[in-house]
Copies of this chain bind each other. A is one copy, B any other.
Amino acid sequence: MDASLRPPGAGWNLLARNYDARMLRGGTLADGKVVAPERAAELLEAVIEPQDRICIEGNNQKHADFLAKALASVSPARVHDLHVVQSNIALAAHLDIFESGIARRLDFCYAGPQGLRLAQLVADGKVQVGAIHTYLELYSRYFTDLTPRVSLIAAEAADRDGNLYTGPNTEDTPAIVEATAFKSGVLIAQVNRIVDKLPRVDVPGDWVSFVVEAPTPHYIEPIFTRDPAAITDIQVLMAMMVVRGIYEKYGVSRLNHGIGFDTAAVELILPTYAEELGLRGKICRYMSVNPCPTLIPAIESGFVETIHCAGSELGMERYVAERSDVFFTGRDGSMRSNRIFCQLAGHYADLFIGSTLQVDLEGNSSTATLARITGFGGAPNFGSESRGRRHGSPAWLQAGREAHRGGMPRGRKLVVQMVETFREGLSSTFVEKLDAWELMDTFNMPLPPVMVYGDDLTHIVTEEGIANLLLCDTLAERAQAIRGVAGYTAVGRARDRHMVEKLRERGAILYPEDIGVDKRLASRDLLAARSIKDLVRWSDGLYAPPARFRNW
């Protein structure tokens, strides 16, 4: 409630009194806290008021899809002009409510496949976008100016007191729940089942207003599963360079991996290539990342010792439960994920490594593509220098010595982009100007949507070599270091050979032979697992890949 809207003489605790009124209306539809699924839309009409800020939970691994559809079916005459504040726009229902006028304003993080339709709705004036956030930013605004009035969340199970069990996919729930429940907001949970006794309590019933048993389990998708069969020899070569030229050089032990095939290749050569180099116990010990199946061989080999996850991954449930030394799990055996802590662990880690679609000559990179509104989720947080960090580690201090020569000494986070010089369709990854500039104009954004800024980036790894941007003193040197690993792209061909050679002498450009990487060994043979079936074998049968990944 904006204080400026407080009517004179209205007194205080208006939100709490308003909550009581909503609960009175909603309570007539409930048996205790439990509302029958066929009355879900009626419940939403009873407890949601026009112009409410509302959050429909949904992120990578679970979605309050039943409640989202119920909301899309309410009468726009009763519920309208809502302000949606949620991390993901992923389901058709998330946009249907804008089409019908139930919602009007939107603050979010990530749109994915709905990005095209979202762009159209913005152009049609049906959606007013406030801003596109990273996850932690949006959660932080839940506690300042974007606190939800009503939140629709998803959990695995509930008991009749409203206690919730989220199982392995806790994800965003703690942030949404805490902001809503402790600012007199209404919290409605859809659950797969209502039981007498929960395996564990993830959200205290005190905090929950209503529970609805959905007719079908909440939507979930295996989006972090990468089939090793699709990893190429070139990706293995790049992975070898990462291991020798970055992980070994700096002694990187705490890190966050992106979720592409490039980093999957790194994970899969830990038990082979890195093991031979004697790097076990020295690199890659603590990770914050989803439980990607390609991590299994590195876990089984004793490389990765601890993993904290933002969410879970379909098929990994039993494996995670049986590897509680590595993953965070409850006493019931299932994982406890939490996007806040995973994002924090990644932000303050020694290194982030991911991929991108475009890189310019300052090193700015973006995955934003024309005609869609997407957003970056957590990547800008992982992939940015942690300026508030004060504790040292060998990797952070060594990177800091390279970055801050002269002046106040300090540490530096390693931020690495791992890209092939040409993408599919033979378009160049390296560009003079990012598409982000055009996107800014098209969608009337205040700034170009850059995922990782050039001055946050420390290394670019391509199949040609590694550019170490920390050792570049000027923007001109930085541009040449980037050209020097940009291969046969137009950007790469326009390199100044003399300057590139000087940068190489200084170590600002490293080619495979400079770091002892034998290109002849760069083949899929180095992968500890070459198929999903191999991963199952490594897991001792505990990993149960979803049907679409089984071809045996």
Contacts and interface: CB of A to CB of B under 8 A. Distances in A.
Interface in A250-299: 253-254, 280-281, 285-288
A132 interface: yes
A341 B140 contact: yes
Contacts of A347: 140, 388
A229 interface: no
A141 B411 CA distance: 17
Contacts of A182: 328-330, 336
A426 interface: no
A107 B448 CA distance: 40
A283 to B, nearest CB: 12
A6, A12, A15, A397 — most chain B CB neighbours (10 Å): A12
A308 B143 contact: yes
Interface stretch (A70-78, A317-325, A491-499, A500-508): A317-325
Nearest to A393: B131
Contacts of A305: 1-4
A447 B449 CA distance: 34
Contacts of A143: 288, 308, 328, 341-342, 344-345
Chain A interface size, as a band, is 35 or more
How many copies altogether?
2
Contacts of A139: 341, 344
A422 interface: no
Given A131-B391, A147-B306, A204-B163, A341 B408 contact: no
B348 A447 contact: no
B134 A389 contact: yes
Contacts of A225: none
A409 interface: yes
A119 interface: no
A338 interface: yes
B410 A453 contact: yes
A132 B306 contact: no
A207 B14 CA distance: 34
A370 to B, nearest CB: 18
Contacts of A336: 178, 182
A206 B331 contact: yes
Given A306-B147, A410-B453, A16 B342 contact: no
A76 to B, nearest CB: 28
Interface of A: 1-4, 6, 12-16, 107, 130-134, 136-145, 147, 163, 174-175, 178-179, 181-184, 200-202, 204-207, 253-254, 280-281, 285-288, 302-306, 308, 322-326, 328-331, 336, 338, 340-342, 344-345, 347-349, 362, 364, 375-376, 380-393, 397, 400, 407-411, 446-450, 453-454, 456
26 contacts: A1-B325, A3-B303, A12-B323, A13-B324, A15-B325, A16-B324, A132-B390, A134-B388, A134-B390, A137-B389, A137-B391, A139-B341, A141-B345, A142-B341, A144-B286, A147-B306, A182-B328, A183-B328, A200-B204, A200-B206, A201-B207, A380-B389, A380-B390, A386-B387, A392-B446, A409-B447
